[in-house]
Amino acid sequence: MPIPSPQSLIPKRNLILRQFFDIIPFIMSMNIHVQTRSSRPSTGKHRRTDLSVISPKPWLPLRIFYRLRQFVRGITAHVSADEMLVVAQVLPKAALTRFCHMPLDAQRHSLNVLYMLQREDLSDPDLAAAALLHDVGKSAAGQIGVQLSPWLKGPLVLLDALLPQWIAGLAQNDPAQGWRYLLHVHLAHPSIGAQWAAEADCSELTCWLIEHHQDTLSGSPQTYNEELLTLLQWADSRN
């Protein structure tokens, strides 16, 4: 199914604000692109990727802008029925149910990650599924009646960047601990999401990508799995 036009999916009241936060990072990063080359012509199933043009991290002003854009996209999030059909084509039925239980802003973010990969003709089905479910573990916060909304994610990301040991020390894997469990979900959502994806009939590679999507690779990717992980992190960091 073709990617729906973004303008057709965003309510008009939010379009100008969204376009402002979309166009500036595009102009600032227009020299960054992905180049692909075929390495498995016998099957046509996989494509190896030249990752040399992908910067591991955007430069600081751009990272700040990406965070601002993610916040704006979160509070103005909208997902259309056509987009849910796209999700249904990518995910197994049980995983689709998990996606539907994600907060609306998380669904919007995950779709944006998928669309960025699709625009670069990166169509590996395991990567596509991981793009949609990489943050599904954050839904575990619902066990204490809380959603990791854009208003909570921003402070948590900031604290995790500035005081990671303090956050890790306070986190508790027990819903009865309230806000401490929320910290645990923020830190452990990759492993939580990977477990849920496995239970929802996702592939082993999809689960591996979800579990490791916040890991830092030492050096250049050495395997196809690590190449896909690098691409997932690239698209995630820019949405």
Task: Map out the domains of the chain as residue ranges.
Answer: 21-237
DSSP labels for 17-30? HHHHHHHHHHHHTT
- Max avg pLDDT among 83-87, 118-122, 176-180: 83-87
In the predicted structure, residue 83 carries a pLDDT above the cut 90: yes
Which one-letter amino acid corresponds to residue 25? P
pLDDT of residue 120: 86
In the predicted structure, residue 40 carries a pLDDT above the cut 70: no
Whole-angstrom Cα distance, residue 15 to residue 185?
Answer: 32
- The confidence band for 107, taking pLDDT boundaries of 50, 70 and 90, is very high
Entry pTM: 0.73
In the predicted structure, residue 201 carries a pLDDT above the cut 90: yes
Cβ neighbour number for residue 223 with a 10 Å cutoff: 8
Average pLDDT value for residue range 81-105:
96
pLDDT of residue 53: 46
Question: What contacts 147, CB < 8 A, 6 or more positions away?
Answer: 103, 139, 141
Whole-angstrom Cα distance, residue 26 to residue 114?
Answer: 17
In contact, 178 and 144? CB cutoff 8 Å: yes
In the predicted structure, residue 1 carries a pLDDT above the cut 90: no
Average pLDDT value for residue range 182-200:
96
Cβ neighbour number for residue 208 with a 10 Å cutoff: 18
Regarding predicted confidence, which is higher, 8 or 189?
Answer: 189
pLDDT of residue 191: 98
Regarding predicted confidence, which is higher, 179 or 39?
Answer: 179
pLDDT of residue 209: 98
CA 196 to chain centre: 16
Number of H helices, E strands in the chain: 12, 2
Question: What contacts 40, CB < 8 A, 6 or more positions away?
Answer: 46, 47, 48
Whole-angstrom Cα distance, residue 88 to residue 123?
Answer: 15
pLDDT of residue 147: 75
Instruction: Return the structure tokens found at 188.
Output: 């452990």
In the predicted structure, residue 133 carries a pLDDT above the cut 60: yes
In the predicted structure, residue 163 carries a pLDDT above the cut 60: yes
Instruction: Return the structure tokens found at 231.
Output: 């691409």
In the predicted structure, residue 57 carries a pLDDT above the cut 80: no
